[in-house]
């Protein structure tokens, strides 16, 4: 009796294990079939037998599909990147078929066979409707149909062919069709020639506006510089003003620059004090420069707190009438030489580069190979030295001009000899980079770019001056320092058409000599006082010239009293 009880218990345990394994296998098979139905495929069917299509789905999804004898029909579909589940639903519904899943097997049959087998109609009442769109993009239409379709409905799209496939109940399909009829209305197409802007750039800026609702299109033709715009009439009314605004004439800036080199009189030891230059008023004939800013520069000048703007680049602006007066005042300092007077046009936001100087060559030697197979090649390279001015103007809404200015002065100070014997030029460079805002027609002054050239001269009796030890008794040495300052005057003017381009620049009267300038105190009282050069009296200093050629005390120019 005990043995029989043990046998029964063993059979029950074995049955439970077998059932668990079967259920686990069934679950795994069902999960595998579900995963296969989610795989996305590409279908391009042209009147293909529906049984062959189901076989293809079974192979692609690695699933089991069984069809009855009565399953027949033909399918024509073009689906891109859709799950096998959606493709199966479309094929079944469009051919009055039905299917159900048992385990990992999908059974496909006719709707009549399904009714005979289960005693009820196939529970999926959804139908399939295909719509070819002409104007609206399928993605936008699918987004609009989401508010109408049921929870069981689906909408599949193909952007390339403009095809929209809707799966839903008949009443929902009817509502979706009405909505499509309202959305899918004719668009306008216009060809718009552009006069100033580039068609490709305008297309890129407007494409986002038309793509926001995926209604309409815009393309460009670079050869003819035309735009082809297709949109709803109301959207076209929004786009055309934007195109007109973007196709406006590009503004430009006419830059008149004068680069002056002033040889400073030793009495003006530290150059020109721009903040105390003469000015014109009812009671005085002197004015102060409207200083925009001053910026420190790299310099060997020894300065202290009393020097003011010495050792800095001063930036200010002048009106057209003050411009001529300023040049006359500069003439009083000493020799003033105009190095360059360029006049060029720059498009708004672009950059112009003015270079005045030399290109210093040097040789770069390259040795390659080892042993007896050594080859030597030489390459000549250049270093630019002189005066460089980079200007980048930007026109603001209030006709003010923001200019990015970079003046640079460089000079060769010597050569550096490499171990291989090659000589490379040594260049001393001073530059400043800043932004200023100026009104159109005003003049910007950049001053303070100073340079000292020290010249040593030896004089003596021939032969006697060469005697060792005693030779210095028969010769003399003198050091001459030439101090120069570079003054850059920039006058920007906004140009909007041909009339502005041909306008004459502000006339500049010739500078008079220093001798004539010092005898004009009586003439200043006349009506033509401003036509005469303004005298400037230097202040002498007791400071001695040091070895670097710079005075130990600052000296400024001040006006001569009436």
CATH code of residue 57: 3.55.50.30
147 & 229 share domain: no
Where among 201, 232, 248 does a domain terminate?
248
Residue 90 lies in a domain: yes
Nearest to 185 by CA among 147, 140, 136: 136
Nearest to 431 by CA among 326, 244, 299, 336: 299
* DSSP strands (E only) in 214-289: 217-221, 226-231, 252-263
Whole-number Å distance between alpha carbons of 499 and 227: 30
Q: Output the pLDDT for position 548.
A: 33
367 & 476 share domain: yes
Residue 505 lies in a domain: no
Q: Output the pLDDT for position 539.
A: 33
399 & 460 share domain: yes
Q: Is 418 helix (H, G, I), strand (E, B) or coil?
A: coil
Residue 95 lies in a domain: yes
Whole-number Å distance between alpha carbons of 339 and 356: 8
Provide the token pair at 313.
């680049």
470 & 439 share domain: yes
97 & 208 share domain: no
138 & 109 share domain: no
Residue 520 lies in a domain: no
Whole-number Å distance between alpha carbons of 145 and 177: 9
5 & 154 share domain: no
For residues 315 and 321, is the Cβ–Cβ distance under 8 A?
A: no
Residue 402 lies in a domain: yes
Where among 118, 140, 169 does a domain terminate?
118
Provide the token pair at 420.
């291989």
Whole-number Å distance between alpha carbons of 327 and 313: 18
Residue 38 lies in a domain: yes
Residue 327, CB-side half-sphere exposure with 13 Å CA sphere? 22
Residue 271 lies in a domain: no
For residues 229 and 242, is the Cβ–Cβ distance under 8 A?
A: no
Where among 217, 248, 279 does a domain terminate?
248
DSSP for 68-121?
-TT---EEEEEEEEEEHHHHHHHHHHHTTEEEEEETTEEEEEEHHHHHHHHSS-
Determine what percent of the chain falls in helix, strand and coil, rounding each to the nearest 5: 30, 40, 30
List the helix and strand counts (H, then E) for the chain: 11, 25
Q: Output the pLDDT for position 329.
A: 56
287: Cβ contacts below 8 Å, ≥ 6 apart: 277, 278, 279, 280, 281, 322
404 & 478 share domain: yes
Whole-number Å distance between alpha carbons of 50 and 108: 11
Distance from chain centroid for Cα 269: 46
Q: Output the pLDDT for position 396.
A: 87
Whole-number Å distance between alpha carbons of 118 and 405: 88
Residue 308 lies in a domain: no
Distance from chain centroid for Cα 217: 26
Provide the token pair at 427.
């260049």
160 & 110 share domain: no
For residues 242 and 248, is the Cβ–Cβ distance under 8 A?
A: no
Q: Output the pLDDT for position 393.
A: 92
Nearest to 289 by CA among 435, 436, 443: 443
Consecutive H or E run containing 140: helix 138-145
For residues 118 and 45, is the Cβ–Cβ distance under 8 A?
A: no
Domain of 193: which CATH number?
A: 3.30.1370.120
Q: Output the pLDDT for position 123.
A: 62
Q: Burial code of 209-237, b = ≥16 C-beta within 10 A, e = fewer?
A: ebeeebbbbbebeeeebebebbbbeebbe
End-to-end CA distance of the chain: 146
Give the total number of structural domains in the chain: 4
112 & 144 share domain: no
DSSP single-letter state for residue 334: S
Q: Output the pLDDT for position 540.
A: 36
Strand partners, 363: 380
Asked whether the CA dihedral 294, 298, 300, 303 is positive or negative, the reply is positive
389 & 475 share domain: yes
Q: Is 212 helix (H, G, I), strand (E, B) or coil?
A: coil
355 & 486 share domain: yes
Domain hosting residue 136, numbered range: 127-184
160: Cβ contacts below 8 Å, ≥ 6 apart: 80
Which pLDDT tens digits describe the chain residue by residue (562 residues)? 545 555 544 544 444 443 334 344 334 445 556 778 888 888 888 889 989 989 998 998 888 998 988 888 898 888 888 888 888 888 888 888 888 888 888 989 988 888 888 777 776 677 888 888 887 788 888 888 888 888 778 888 888 888 888 888 888 888 888 888 877 777 778 898 998 888 888 888 887 766 555 566 788 888 999 998 887 777 788 888 888 888 887 788 998 888 888 887 655 544 445 444 444 433 333 344 444 433 343 333 333 333 333 334 444 455 555 555 555 555 555 577 888 888 888 888 889 888 888 888 888 888 787 777 878 788 888 888 888 889 999 998 788 899 898 888 888 888 888 777 778 888 888 888 888 888 888 888 887 777 777 777 777 777 777 788 777 777 777 777 777 888 888 889 988 755 554 444 444 444 444 434 334 333 343 334 334 433 333 333 333 333 333 333 333 333 333 3
């Amino acid at each position: 009796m005990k043995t029989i009880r043990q046998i029964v218990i063993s059979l029950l345990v074995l049955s439970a294990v077998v059932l668990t394994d079967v259920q686990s296998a069934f679950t795994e098979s069902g999960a595998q079939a579900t995963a296969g139905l989610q795989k996305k495929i590409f279908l391009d069917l042209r009147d293909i037998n529906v049984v062959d299509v189901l076989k293809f789905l079974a192979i692609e999804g690695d699933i089991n599909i069984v069809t009855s004898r009565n399953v027949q029909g033909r399918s024509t579909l073009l689906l891109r990147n859709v799950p096998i589940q959606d493709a199966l639903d479309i094929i079944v519904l469009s051919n009055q078929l039905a299917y159900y899943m048992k385990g990992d097997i999908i059974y496909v049959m006719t709707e009549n066979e399904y009714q005979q087998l289960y005693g009820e109609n196939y529970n999926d009442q959804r139908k399939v409707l295909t719509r070819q769109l002409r104007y609206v993009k399928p993605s936008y239409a699918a987004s609009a149909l989401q508010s109408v379709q049921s929870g069981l409905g689906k909408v599949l799209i193909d952007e390339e062919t403009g095809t929209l496939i809707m799966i839903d109940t008949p009443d929902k399909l009817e509502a979706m069709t009405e909505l499509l009829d309202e959305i899918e209305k004719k668009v306008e197409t216009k060809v718009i020639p552009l006069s100033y802007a580039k068609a490709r750039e305008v297309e890129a800026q407007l494409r986002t506006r038309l793509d926001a609702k995926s209604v309409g299109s815009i393309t460009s033709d670079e050869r003819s510089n035309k735009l082809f715009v297709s949109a709803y009439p109301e959207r076209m009314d929004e786009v055309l003003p934007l195109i007109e605004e973007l196709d406006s004439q590009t503004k430009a800036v006419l830059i008149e620059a004068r680069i002056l080199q002033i040889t400073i009189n030793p009495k003006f030891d530290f150059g020109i004090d721009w903040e105390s230059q003469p000015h014109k008023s009812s009671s005085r004939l002197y004015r102060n420069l409207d200083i925009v800013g001053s910026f420190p520069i790299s310099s060997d000048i020894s300065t202290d707190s009393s020097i003011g703007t010495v050792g800095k680049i001063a930036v200010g602006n002048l009106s057209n009438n003050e411009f001529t007066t300023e040049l006359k005042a500069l003439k009083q300092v000493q020799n003033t030489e105009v190095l360059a007077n360029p006049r060029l046009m720059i498009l708004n936001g672009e950059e112009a580069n003015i270079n005045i100087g030399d290109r210093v060559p040097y040789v770069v030697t390259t040795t390659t190979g080892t042993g007896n197979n050594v080859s030597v090649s030489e390459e000549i390279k250049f270093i630019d030295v002189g005066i460089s001015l980079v200007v980048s103007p930007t026109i603001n809404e209030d006709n003010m001009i923001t200019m990015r200015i970079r003046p640079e002065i460089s000079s060769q100070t010597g050569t550096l000899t490499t171990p291989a014997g090659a000589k490379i030029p040594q260049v001393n460079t001073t530059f400043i980079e800043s932004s200023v805002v100026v009104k159109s027609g005003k003049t910007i002054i950049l001053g303070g770019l100073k340079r000292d050239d020290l010249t040593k001269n030896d004089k003596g009796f021939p032969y006697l001056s060469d005697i060792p030890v005693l030779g210095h008794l028969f010769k003399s040495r003198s050091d001459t320092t030439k101090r120069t300052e570079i003054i850059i005057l920039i006058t920007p003017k906004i140009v909007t058409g041909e009339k502005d381009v041909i306008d004459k620049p502000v006339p500049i009267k010739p500078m008079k000599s220093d001798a004539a300038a010092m005898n004009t105190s009586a003439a200043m009282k006349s009506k033509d006082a401003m036509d005469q050069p303004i005298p400037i009296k230097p202040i002498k200093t007791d400071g001695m010239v040091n070895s670097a050629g710079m005075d130990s005390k600052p000296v400024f120019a001040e006006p001569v009293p009436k």
